[in-house]
Chains A and B, each alone.
Chain A
Amino acid sequence: MKCDFCDKKASVFLTQLVEGQMKKVCLCDHCAKERGVTDPTGFSLADVLLGGVAAGAGPFSAAKPPHATPGGGRKCPNCGFTLDDLRRVRRFGCSDCYTTFGEEVGQMVRGMHKGTSHVGKVPAGLMALHFRHQRIEELRSRLDQAVASESYEEAAGIRDEILQLNETKP
């Protein structure tokens, strides 16, 4: 039997269920290695069938051109990753990219997972930070009210509390 990608003799035969259907691929040693097929942990036949692996084999830095093309629209201010890069590799450059390309994230994530917003573990430090921000917001609106109603003594107390919270290290 011949390799599905080149004409050499196939030696790796892979069968996988892709969306409920049995799919089979035959590869020679070389193509199997190149596509990471022999790695039972990281391989999905869908990638081969849909051309994903062929397009972005290996660490994606290897596939990227030395200079990101201009005109690819938006660019992440933190890491320089562009919309073109995103369209090519379907991955992101840094955590800030998720803000830069928020719209695209929404489209990509839809249908990919069981849901679109996170349920589960939250870093403990961030949890504290999150609550602190919430508390500060709450105090600020109370401060505004206090000032509006000319309760200056109360306002001073709230102001001190806000200052104290802002000084606390994360």
Chain B
Amino acid sequence: MMRFSTLVKHPADWMTGGQGEHGAVLTSRIRLARNLRRQPFPGWAKREQRTAALDLMRPAVEALPAMKDGFSQELGDLSSVQKQVLVERHLISREHAARGDGSAAVIERRQSFSLMLNEEDHLRMQAIRPGLQLTAAFTALSELDSELEKSLEFAFDPTLGYLTTCPTNLGTGLRASAMLHLPGLVLSDQIGQVLQAVNKIGLAVRGLYGEGTESLGNLYQISNQSTLGESEETIIRRLERVIAQVANHERNAREKLLDDDPEMVADKIGRAYGVLRHAHIIDSKEALNHLSLLRLGGTLGFFPPETVILCDTLLMDIQPAHLQLHSGRKLSPEERDAIRAEIVRSRLLSLESPDNRSTTRDIKPLPDPNNPGDA
């Protein structure tokens, strides 16, 4: 089995974007909740019962073709920094990281699938893909689920569907979500309106934490709330449609900002570039907000397109646990801010100033990455 250091040495496939281009949609995630029939759910099970369930599931999960040469560890065998790194990579949940013996994480080597054993449910399976690919992620994960079903007896009821610890996950056990980068809608003050509309049709919107209506780094997650009464395909199709619409609004907002107020846009992106290139102390909030603008600059032609991937990788690498893993020791917040600035400066060393660029070429938004056809 793969070692922790090998697993996290490289960024996940979905972080560096198998598709090449990134726009408003960073990643698509599908989660399926499954439980073993008649075995007490992890939160209610006694220690021996939890271990027994784990012993049933773990061999089946490790034997999955997708998990060949993958990573598999009981959480009690991971340090808190290692667990936190997995949380920052979205490979395990925060709740799962709080667990120890009797719970495990099994992760595909390229980090596209991760399975949490004995989380809130016996099994929480997840597939992540870059860009807007909810259907592809679901198809892949559903195959994995069908494979597991051959060796594990899942709790299922013809009326209630897959039975879960919490009734909010009954039915399909499906949570589909996408992470969106929406700086255009934030800068043009349309974000509240758009998110409210999304919320109104029964989808959940979550930001990262942030003051006022701004979420950190202009990042938002949209996901389904209802899991019972509609098929997986219906849920995903609706979500994909809504997300594509939001991405489209974002693209229009960016274009309009460039038309109406090109100086403001250039100023914001230029300042972000200046700070990130030259800061020696930077906290994670400031870094994320500037990286967001740099990323925007990457899609608007202020920087080469690969800047987007650079930003997405940095987004992960400057988080606290990643910094501690990188420096191999526990860091005080002050030390973290210094090391964070150092990493950002070194990665941006070869990124040329937008001023040198805009004189030689027309600044134009890139084609919609979710619609490669309309270039």
Interface residues, chain A, with chain B CB atoms under 8 Å away: 12-17, 19-20, 22, 32, 36-44, 58-61, 64, 78-79, 81, 85, 89-96, 98, 105, 108-109, 112-126, 130
Known contacts A92-B41, A115-B228; 10 further A-B pairs (Cβ under 8 A): A14-B209, A20-B199, A32-B209, A40-B206, A44-B204, A79-B44, A92-B44, A114-B230, A118-B171, A121-B232
- Residues from chain B with a CB closer than 8 A to the CB of A117 are 159-160, 228-229
Given contacts A13-B209, A17-B205, contact A39 B232 (CB under 8 A): no
A interface SS class: loop
- Residues from chain A with a CB closer than 8 A to the CB of B228 are 109, 112-118
- Residues from chain A with a CB closer than 8 A to the CB of B38 are 78, 94-96
Instruction: Give 1 or 0 for each of B149-167: 1 = CB within 8 Å of chain A CB.
Output: 1100111111111110111
Cβ distance A36 to chain B, nearest Cβ, rounded Å: 5
- Residues from chain B with a CB closer than 8 A to the CB of A125 are 149-150, 153
* Chain B residues numbered 87-112 whose CB sits less than 8 Å from any CB in chain A: 87, 90, 93-95, 98-99
Q: Are B41 and A91 in contact (CB under 8 A)?
A: yes
Question: 21 A-B residue contacts at CB 8 Å?
Answer: A15-B213, A17-B199, A19-B199, A39-B87, A39-B94, A39-B95, A64-B44, A81-B44, A90-B167, A98-B157, A109-B160, A109-B167, A112-B228, A113-B171, A114-B229, A117-B228, A118-B160, A119-B171, A121-B145, A123-B154, A130-B158
Given contacts A15-B207, A92-B165, A116-B229, contact A41 B93 (CB under 8 A): yes
The answer for the CA separation of A60 and B213 in the assembled complex, in Å, is: 32
Cβ distance B329 to chain A, nearest Cβ, rounded Å: 21
Cβ distance B184 to chain A, nearest Cβ, rounded Å: 19
The answer for the CA separation of A124 and B158 in the assembled complex, in Å, is: 13
Residue in B157, B171, B199, B215 whose Cβ sees the most chain A Cβ within 10 Å: B171
The 4 closest A-B pairs by CB, nearest first: A115-B229, A118-B161, A95-B155, A39-B94
